[in-house]
Amino acid sequence: MFLRALIVAGAFIVIALVVRLWRRPPRLARLDLRYLAIRGPAIVQFTTPWCGPCKTAAPHLRRAAGAAGLAYAEIDVADRPDIARRYHIRRVPTIAVAGANGRVLGTWTALPPNGEIGDAARLAAS
């Protein structure tokens, strides 16, 4: 009985660890903006056509990009699975703010509160 309880507890721990790692935003250090057909610093949203939160976040991201003078790009990872594999995109929306050299200044898997996108966008524009 004790062995069975120990096995079940171990299984739950493993499952919890896998779920936590799966939900973590991808560790993007650099985006190849030319490969993504983006010119200059940008706010990039990795999305799919059926993603409701992506559609909700898009106007906010466009506004933040416009205010900072950055490009805004939506990349459909259902249409471009090669990009999803290359950048390890597992969840949508995945939002990244990249400077002119492609260095990623911030990554989120949901629209962040309190203007974090705007702060990263202003940093990318400078």
Task: Please give the DSSP secondary-structure letter assigned to residue 91.
Answer: S
pTM: 0.78
Ordered per-residue pLDDT tens for the chain, 126 residues: 788 888 888 888 887 776 665 555 667 888 999 889 998 899 999 999 999 999 999 999 999 999 999 999 999 999 999 999 999 898 899 999 999 999 999 999 888 887 888 899 998 988
Instruction: Write down the pLDDT at residue 113.
Output: 82
Quote the tokens at residue 37. Answer: 């057909």
Quote the tokens at residue 13. Answer: 């721990």
Q: What are the distances in angstroms from CA 48 to CA 56, 80, 106, 120?
A: 13, 10, 20, 24
Instruction: Write down the pLDDT at residue 67.
Output: 93
Instruction: Write down the pLDDT at residue 25.
Output: 61
Whose tokens are 């057909």? That residue is 37
Whose tokens are 């002119």? That residue is 100
Task: Please give the DSSP secondary-structure letter assigned to residue 78.
Answer: T
For the chain, what are the domain ranges?
28-125
Instruction: Write down the pLDDT at residue 17.
Output: 73
Q: Which helix (H) or strand (E) holds 94?
A: strand 94-98
CATH number of 28-125: 3.40.30.10
